[in-house]
Structure 1
Amino acid sequence: MAVDMRLPARKQASLPASLSSSDGKHLVVPGDVITSDTGFMRGHGTYMDDEKLTASVAGEVERVNKLICVRPLKTRFNGEVGDVVVGRITEVQQKRWKVETNSRLDSVLLLSSVNLPGGELRRRSAEDELAMRDYLQEGDLISAEVQSVFSDGALSLHTRSLKYGKLGQGVVVQVSPSLIKRQKTHFHNLTCGASVILGNNGYIWIYPTPGQQDEEAGGYYTSLEPVPLSDREVISRLRNCLLALAAHKVMLYDTSILYCYESSLTHQIKDILKPEIMDEIVMETRQRLLDQEG
């Protein structure tokens, strides 16, 4: 026999019905009443309950004119046109590669959306299709840009710029996509001696700062020379700093990463992830960021 059970409702402080843009950010959890004003339209992350707009996910309330939605704090990557992503090739298909980009569906990189070695602009022939594994094969990491979004939500990528392409030697770190701060550029050569690619999809690539770029390679030249010990130590320290910032939900961008790196220099690399040292480093980083903003 089915039994109808409901948890006791706790009293929630509903948000102002006006929800003006000057109210700042409003964080809600599932079951919170967003507004009782019937003049608003229901967006993603909300539902109607007794003529009240209620949150169905934990996140931040966003309003566009009369449309109200809740942006989840933790979710799969929902790509937009122009986003920089770091992904891994999972399959080579006819005239396309399938790429894992931390989204709900595998992304697509078409053969016509890449630069061929030599950089010449021409139609892709049958010979190019047969040589697809010479450019990219399963397991390869790439950096790319979202070119368009299909109707089912899958992303179409392109690497038609020399700053995109196959990634060589380095370390990939996975964090929540919501922690990546949107900026004009997501490629940063840090003053500490390494470079990072902050993928909007939550994948961060840390690698030694490259020298002269080989333009004839079309983005597919990867150096296999041994990485010096000093560079490996910098990369390892940056990796641990990224994990520390992500554990404390600090937004990740070039300034916060560099401040955290400088705060960690008094500790050994292996000690950065110890809870007490991690708290100390992140606290100092937050204070420096506040001082900079203030």
Structure 2
Amino acid sequence: MRGLQLPLSQTQKVRLQKALQQLESLSSKVNSDASVTVADSISVNHEDGFLKGHGTTDLKGEVVATVCGVVERVNKLVYVRTLRSRYKPEVGDIVVGRVVEVVQKRWKLEINYSQNATLMLSSMNLPDGIQPKLKRYVGLQVSFMACSIYFVQRRRTALDELNMRSVFEENDVVCAEVRGFQHDGLHLQARSQKYGKLKRGQLLTVTPYLVKKQKQHIHHIEQYGIDLILGCNGFIWVGEHIEAKDDDDMADQAKQSEGQEQSFTALETRKYICRTANAVRVLSNLGFNMTLEIIKETVNLSLTLNLDAHEMLSSEFCVLVAEKEAERRSSIKKKR
């Protein structure tokens, strides 16, 4: 658990310590060899053979951890994945970044990586960029005809390059997907309508290891009217829900947005954005993993206690969240 920088009373310190100890005991019973600190020994099978990876060393015939983190095993390779390190991208990761530079045919984004990521103009879904067509294949040595739909993306012209700032400009927040590594660094892509510019919300930063890989990282919380994007790089976006539009609607919206902003975010929606953002801050301070379920439970707890959004950052609410999470995990274990 992370060290809390909150003004806790003596009673709150005792309650918080008790809740955290209960959570640690529950997690340690699941896998006592999962987390290690410096100089902790790592159990390995010397008879089958093994390979020492990053964060490990050999000391008097034992494998010892040289960093704090989680023990990972891939076949015979044993290594320690550090927790407090910068984000390490993998292909397919959903990330949230901020535009820091607009250069020739590409945008440079800060994504909490050791270097800025690149989003090419050709990797963007422009309003009139994709046209579905039907293609037929006729087999010469088979007796059937196969049909498939493919997408043709028009070439990017010099006019598109001149209008790049109308798509993204400096300090814009963007959701994208990791495409892969190339000779000039990490590349992103945003060829789907679920990616693109994020507006009317808050960008939060947490330690990347708190955001675990999940099937879904982009969530629409319908009851709150907001969107929640859990970026694998530790950047979390909480903002007003934006309905997905087809290409014609996107083109019309782009023309209308050149003049002025269409509408304002409703007050109730802004309150839910602030509540959800504060829930993320509380969970980050406690060192809890960021999932949709626990974030919604934290927001619902504040509503049940009839707290204002700013009161969620108090010491008492932080202790209550830790106690509720300990109760929840304990009840889940009893059911099993």
TM norm. shorter chain > 0.5:
yes
Q: Does 2:209 correspond to 1:171?
A: no
The answer for the alignment partner of 1:145 in structure 2 is 177
Alpha-carbon displacement from aligned partner over 1:165-206 (angstroms, at most 9, x marks no partner): 011111111111111122111111123332201111111111
The 3-state SS of whatever aligns with 1:272 is: helix
Q: Which has the larger radius of gyration?
A: 2
1:226 aligned partner: 264
1:284 lines up with 2:284 in the alignment: no
Q: CA offset at residue 99 of structure 1?
A: 0.5
Change (3 A) 1:290 1:238: farther
1:237 to partner: Cα distance = 0.8
Which of the numbers 212, 215, 219 marks the counterpart of 1:184?
215
Question: Quick one: which of 28, 48, 67 aligns to 1:57?
Answer: 67
Higher helix share: 2
Structure-1 separation of matches of 2:323 and 2:225: 24
Alignment correspondent of 1:159:
190
Task: Write the mapping of 1:1-294 to structure 2, written as runs, cut at 5 A.
Answer: 25-35=33-43, 37=46, 39-120=49-130, 121-150=153-182, 154-190=185-221, 191-211=223-243, 213=245, 215-216=247-248, 217=250, 225-265=263-303, 266=305, 267-288=307-328, 290-291=330-331, 294=335
Aligned length: 271
Asked whether the 8 Å contact 1:263–1:284 carries over to 2, the reply is no
- The separation in 2 between residues aligned to 1:118 and 1:24, in whole angstroms, is 54
Q: CA separation in 1, counterparts of 2:329 and 2:204?
A: 22
Any idea what SS the aligned residue of 2:161 has? Answer: helix
**Which segment is superposed worse, 156-165 or 268-277?**
268-277
Percent identity between the aligned chains? 38
Aligned 8 A contact 1:84 1:143 in 2:
yes
User: Using CA pairs below 8 Å that are at least 6 residues apart, which structure has the higher relative contact order?
Assistant: 2
State the distance in 1 between where 2:40 and 2:31 align. Answer: 17
TM-score (norm 1): 0.84
- Provide the residue aligned with 1:11 in structure 2: none
What displacement does 1:35 show? 4.6
Most deviating of 111-120 and 68-77: 111-120
| 1:290 Cα deviation from its structure 2 partner | 4.8
User: What's the secondary structure of 1:128's corresponding residue?
Assistant: helix
Q: 1:287 to 1:150 in 2, by over 3 A?
A: farther
Inter-partner Cα distance in structure 2 for 1:195 and 1:84: 14
Q: CA deviation at 1:30?
A: 1.8
Aligned-partner Cα distance in 2 for 1:290–1:114: 46
Cα deviation for residue 132 of structure 1 reads 1.4
- CA distance in 2 between partners of 1:71 and 1:212 (Å): 37
Q: Which runs of 5+ in 2 are unaligned?
A: 1-29, 131-152
5+ residue gaps, structure 1, are 1-21
Q: RMSD across aligned C-alpha pairs, in angstroms?
A: 2.3
For 2:175, give the aligned amino acid: S
Q: Secondary structure at the match of 2:203?
A: strand
Q: 1:66 to 1:76 in 2, by over 3 A?
A: same
